[in-house]
Chain A
Amino acid sequence: MPADLNPSEMVAARRPATRAMLYVVLGILGLFFLAPLAVMVLTSLRPIEEIRSAGIIGIPQTLTLDAWRAAWSQACIAAVCEGLQPYFRNSLVIAIPATLLSTLLGAINGYALTKFRFPGADAIMVLIILGCFLPLQAVLIPAAQTLSALGLANSIYGLILIYTVYGLPFTTLFFRNYYVGVPSEIVRAAHMDGAGFWRIFFQIMVPISWPIAMVSVVFQFTGIWNEFLFGVSFTTGASQTVTVALNNLVNTTFGVKQYNLDMAASLIAALPVLIVYLFVGRFFVRGLTAGSIKG
């Protein structure tokens, strides 16, 4: 037996029968996870008559992009028949600044609280991080009242504010876990070189932070894009987010159920996060697990 086996090799099933079983079980699990996506894609490409006669599970006989087109720009949400397109834009306009802002603030907090351990820094850290576990229902009513008092009810700015603030506990936690692994001596050395708080942050910490910034950006973007409770509580009509609009579209019923339209709309609403996930998901997972293992 070679001397440097890793644990997985040590216990890895090696008999052919066992390995066959392994792949069968993985295959079944894989099907369970893939099936909903496959059904959505296929259904979105079929004409409604065909679905109604054969059920939503099945191989399309005719392929059509009608449902996609309708979901993007024609479907009615309440009385407005412009598809998801305007709300898609809302979500982008909300998610991008809120993501960037909360990531930047989280980085500053993580830096200030781990590298300048002033009295009370630990307590402040706990105070902020506890916010990760806040059930949002517990702040729903005051948040609604505050937004309307500020004149931000039913506005994109209101949601940017809300998503930035409630993202802070997570982004702060990410950067804290990352920065505790950065030797404080680097900061001390920079201090002795004459650099101040902000110069150390921007010239020394920021350039080495991209792995965790990636985690923070992906987490915040998908979280904000997918968020529903605040979206549905604080926006209506033209300022809805795409997730809220999707829910309304599906629940706007005129006569028969448009399965293909629902599925196409769902896919459109999920597309940005799926793309983000496909392209940078690897870095996300790596950064996240590195942090959670260490921290």
Chain B
Amino acid sequence: MSQSSLRVEPAPHPRGGAGRFGRGRSGLGRHAPAWLAISPSLLAILIFVYGFALWTAYVSLSASRMVPDFALVGLRNYERMWGQDRWLVAAGNLVTFTALYVVVTLAVGLLIAILLDQKVRGETPLRTIFLYPAAVSLIVTGIAWKWLLNPGTGVEAFMRSAGWEGFAFDWIIRSETVIYAIVVAAVWQQAGFVSVLFLAALRGVDGEMVKAARLDGAGPIRTYWSVIIPAIRPAFISAGVLLVAFALKTFDLVVAMTAQGPGYASALPSTFVYDMAFQRNQLGMAAAGAISILVFAAIIVLPYVVWEFRKSDAR
């Protein structure tokens, strides 16, 4: 082969062809297409996320009721809100719900993941069974569990008709326990998803470390507790933060399952906000509730995001 046969193309000779954006040494020019490409999204996020959140914060400090009112009233909406039993119940429920939901879901998810990680037969169908609830809406989840937990139609009725006359399972109709019934449904919906995250993390654990633990004489339970579970801590943190974010947003489940009842015993801040905004024409107070949720979310999420980005920078 000769040299000339390799020269299949006359080389282009752009005279001083500095390209469309190529002149400046430092200017934005070179990055213009990238800027252009993200600008619609960036603009939308700036307005719809940050702008709207600030707007809500403003409304929460204003005298708005049914229609926006721009007169500022300081923290009056917050004061009124914290003086309402409805809000206090909702806020208390949120704390109970979030704590139980996150802990139980993580525990059940981890249990499922560990069990599935034992080379079980039928892992694929089992995973399907555990995961499908995550695809189903919380409205559907709520409808199903509403009747299952209702003592007149569900588990209690079934056990009694099966001959266990004294059986009682009536969390959903009692004010003190209704929130636990909601936790049951919420765990059912998310545990499978969490187990998938954990299973992937378990399978990423360094095999040599596990071998080392075995050679050090650790049994299976010890190995899980002291070696494997600490190794998947990042998955715990990610899953935990996701679950807290879900918990703070929970709205539809309560609407479908209990409609905040009995009375408002199962209200959550999210249902409170919706009621105030669309049913009771108390925009100011609705905004105050919304901002309270946002602050709670920020307290949990911001440290996590900072941690995540530190981690990926360190690599």
Contact = CB atoms under 8 A, between A and B. Distances in A.
A and B touch in the complex (CB under 8 A): yes
Interface of A: 4-13, 19, 22-23, 25-26, 29-30, 32-37, 39-40, 43, 51, 54-58, 105, 108-109, 111-113, 116, 118, 121-122, 124, 126-146, 162, 165-166, 168-169, 172, 180, 196-198, 222, 225-229, 232-233, 243, 246-247, 250-251, 259, 262-263, 266-267, 269-270, 273-274, 276-278, 281, 285, 288-290, 292-293, 295
Contact of B120 (A26, A124, A229, A243): A26
Nearest to B221: A11
B207 A57 contact: no
B314 interface: no
B1 interface: no
A127 B223 CA distance: 40
Contacts, number: 308
Contact of B289 (A111, A137, A273): A137
Given A142-B51, A243-B252, 19 more contacts: A9-B119, A10-B210, A51-B153, A121-B34, A127-B50, A128-B42, A135-B290, A135-B293, A137-B274, A138-B290, A138-B293, A141-B55, A166-B49, A168-B45, A197-B33, A226-B139, A247-B256, A266-B144, A273-B136
Given A25-B115, A116-B34, A135-B270, A270 B136 contact: yes
A131 B45 contact: yes
Interface in B40-75: 40-42, 44-46, 48-53, 55-56, 59, 68
Contact of A5 (B28, B111, B211): B211
A228 B137 contact: yes
Contacts of A226: 136-139
A288 B131 CA distance: 14
B137 A140 contact: no
A136 B59 CA distance: 16
Interface in B124-144: 126-133, 135-141, 143-144
B135 A108 contact: no
B147 A247 contact: no
A11 B224 contact: yes
Given A128-B42, A131-B49, A116 B31 contact: yes
Nearest to A249: B143
A146 B49 CA distance: 13
22 contacts: A7-B202, A7-B205, A33-B129, A37-B144, A112-B34, A112-B35, A118-B30, A118-B35, A127-B50, A128-B42, A128-B45, A130-B305, A133-B245, A134-B53, A142-B56, A222-B135, A228-B139, A233-B274, A270-B135, A285-B196, A292-B200, A292-B235
